[in-house]
Amino acid sequence: MIAVIATAILNIKYAYMNEKSFSIKKAAGFILTIVFALGAFGRGNAQEVIKGLSYLDKKPIAITIQDGKIVSVKKIRKLDPASENIYLSPGLIDNQVNGFVGVSFSSEGIPLTEEGMRKATQALWENGVTTYFPTVTTNSRSEIVNNFSILAKAKNDPSSLGSIPGFHLEGPYISPVDGYRGAHSLHYVRPPDWDEFMEFYKASDNGILTVTVAPEVEGGLDFIKKCTEKGITIALGHHNASADIIRQAIAMGARTCTHVGNGIANEINRHVNPLWPQLSDDRLMISIICDGFHLRPEEINVFYKAKGTDRTIITSDVSEYAGMKPGIYKNLDGEDIELTPDGEVRYPAQKVLYSSASPVNKGVWHAMKVTGCSLGQAIQMASSNPAKLYGLNDRGSLEPGKRADIILFTLGDKGLTIRKTIVAGKTVYEKQ
């Protein structure tokens, strides 16, 4: 690069001294050479090559990264000993993260800060999550506005490297009925209010990408239509809608279902319940929590067989309890929340689970174990599918031109062990 610039300068000097051959056109050409050279130098042309086993077919590949993007993905003959057991895949995309390592995106009494957001983001990177949707749950109007204002700053923080493309609002427009309401505070559950939602949307800097709503509540269908017109993805969840209302919600634009099999009463009518119309309609995708607690193995198997790889998303519903010590904590209403030693989060008052303490990389491994799906299929459900659903066309697969959001990991009897996480071409975590 320096040689190119030096040659251009010498050519200008020589041409100027030799007036017969000097012209404005030549001078301009020499100057443009310098400008382009300096521009290339400023952009940086350094390339990085990472090698490992493809998550799709377990064959050796080499991925070239430059300027934060994937330049090429090539098959190679073999790997060196240091890489022969390392898998490469796109980073995981989690569409439902309520908090992490003591940081909550919703709770009153635990102020959300920009520093806390950086802490949560870093911890998620260490678990292979390169893209996530901070999820704000049912709360007071002022608290939701306040939290979205802070989240908007985190989204625009350069240090997050684009890991937060937008947000998930789960509630407050859900069913008030016990069981279907789940662990959401009854005190704050309410019907949809478009003016209130627009205040949330403005506070989020127009960053709300998806909303979980109960379509059967007053104003639910109209709310779904208005959100769809704004390009917001509607998920049905925490509801007890009839088959007819579910069909109407789909016609209004609903595209997916939040954590199917959860956010539903413990005892339901075996024929008339929200499960069958959601599972049987191919227009709906579903998300499922595969942490080993929220769903039984046979439930995961049935849901997976009904929807298939292309219409299933593995999510975490992870909360601030991930990474915290087992014990008794308090929710918004002052009720007990129990984090067990094996990582289950219980809400004894309603005899239901209270979010999760397991990141989505555990769900990838558990889904493989329970359904028998391949690693490639599990990664599709935890990365490619959410990218497709939410229009994140710059990520979710290992292809030239995509963001270099890549994880390196090993597979063992206890799951995925993340060895290295790369976000937008930058190494943000490396296991020591």
Q: Is the pLDDT of residue 139 over 70?
A: yes
Residues 156 and 22 in one domain: no
**Within-domain flag for 79:** no
Q: What angle do CA 130, 136, 138 make, to 5 degrees?
A: 155
Work out the average pLDDT over 5-15. 43
Domain that holds residue 29: 2-43
User: What ranges make up the beta strands (E) of 296-347?
Assistant: 312-315, 327-330, 336-339, 345-347
Any residues with CB less than 8 A from the CB of 61 and at least 6 apart, and which? 51, 52, 53, 54, 73, 74, 75, 76, 88, 398
- Chain segment 145-196, per-residue pLDDT in tens: 999 999 999 999 999 999 999 999 999 999 999 999 998 999 999 999 999 9
Looking at residue 45, its pLDDT comes to 65
173 shares a domain with 25: no
- Most confidently modeled range among 283-292, 332-341, 342-351: 283-292
- Whole-Å CA distances, 257 to 213, 216, 234, 312, 327: 9, 14, 8, 10, 31
Per-residue pLDDT, averaged over 321-328, amounts to 88
- How do residues 74-109 score in pLDDT, each as one tens digit? 999 999 988 889 999 999 999 999 999 999 998 766
Residue 84 is assigned to a structural domain of this protein = no
In a domain, 333, yes or no: yes
Domains: count for the chain: 2
379 and 256 share one domain = yes
In a domain, 241, yes or no: yes
Residue 343: the pLDDT is 85
Does any domain span residue 57?
A: no
pLDDT (0 to 100) of residue 73? 98
β-pairing, 69-75 vs 60-66, is antiparallel
Nearest Cα to 242, choosing from 285, 284, 282, 271? Answer: 271
Is 431 inside any structural domain?
A: no
pLDDT at 109: 63
Answer whether residue 27 shows pLDDT above 50. no
CATH number assigned to the domain comprising residue 121 = 3.20.20.140
pLDDT for the residue 330? 84
Cα four-point dihedral sign 358, 132, 262, 363: negative
Residue 83 has a pLDDT of 87
The whole-model pTM stands at 0.88
CA geometry: angle at 325 spanning 324 and 328, to 5°? Answer: 105
Residue 282 · residue 308 · CB < 8 Å: no
Residue 388 has pLDDT above 50, yes or no: yes
Averaged confidence pLDDT in the chain? 90
Band (pLDDT 50/70/90 cuts) for residue 3 is: very low
The more confidently predicted of residues 281 and 46 is: 281
Instruction: Indicate whether 10 and 137 sit together in one domain.
Output: no
Do 152 and 11 share a domain, yes or no?
Answer: no
* DSSP string covering 242-304: -HHHHHHHHHHT--EESSTTSSS-SS--SSSSSHHHHHH-TT-EEEEE-SSSSS-HHHHHHHH
Greatest pairwise CA separation for the chain in angstroms:
95
Residue 36, pLDDT > 90, answer no
Pair 26, 167 in one domain = no
336, 349 contact by CB (below 8 A):
yes
pLDDT confidence of 111, banded at 50, 70, 90? confident
Sign of the torsion formed by the C-alpha atoms of 222, 228, 230 and 233: positive
| pLDDT classification of 9: cutoffs 50, 70, 90 | very low
Pair 132, 216 in one domain: yes
| Percent residues over pLDDT 70 in the chain | 89
* pLDDT value of residue 35: 41
Same domain? 94 vs 167: yes
Tell whether the model's pLDDT for residue 1 goes beyond 60. Answer: no
Instruction: Convert the pLDDT of each residue in 360-384 to its tens digit.
Output: 999 999 999 999 999 999 999 999 9
340 lies in the same domain as 281: yes
Say if residue 8 is in the same domain as residue 108.
no
Judgement on whether residues 186 and 308 belong to the same structural domain of the protein: yes
**Are 114 and 21 found together in one domain?**
no
Point out the least confidently predicted range of 14-18, 81-85, 274-278, 403-407.
14-18
Q: Is 78 part of any domain?
A: no
Residue 392 is predicted with a pLDDT of 98
Residue 61 in domain: no
Q: What pLDDT score does 108 carry?
A: 61
Q: What pLDDT does residue 347 have?
A: 86
- How confident is residue 342, by pLDDT bands cut at 50, 70 and 90? confident
Cis peptide bond prior to 172, omega within 30° of 0? yes
How confident is residue 22, by pLDDT bands cut at 50, 70 and 90? very low
Q: Which of 7-21, 94-108, 207-221, 284-298 has the lowest mean pLDDT?
A: 7-21
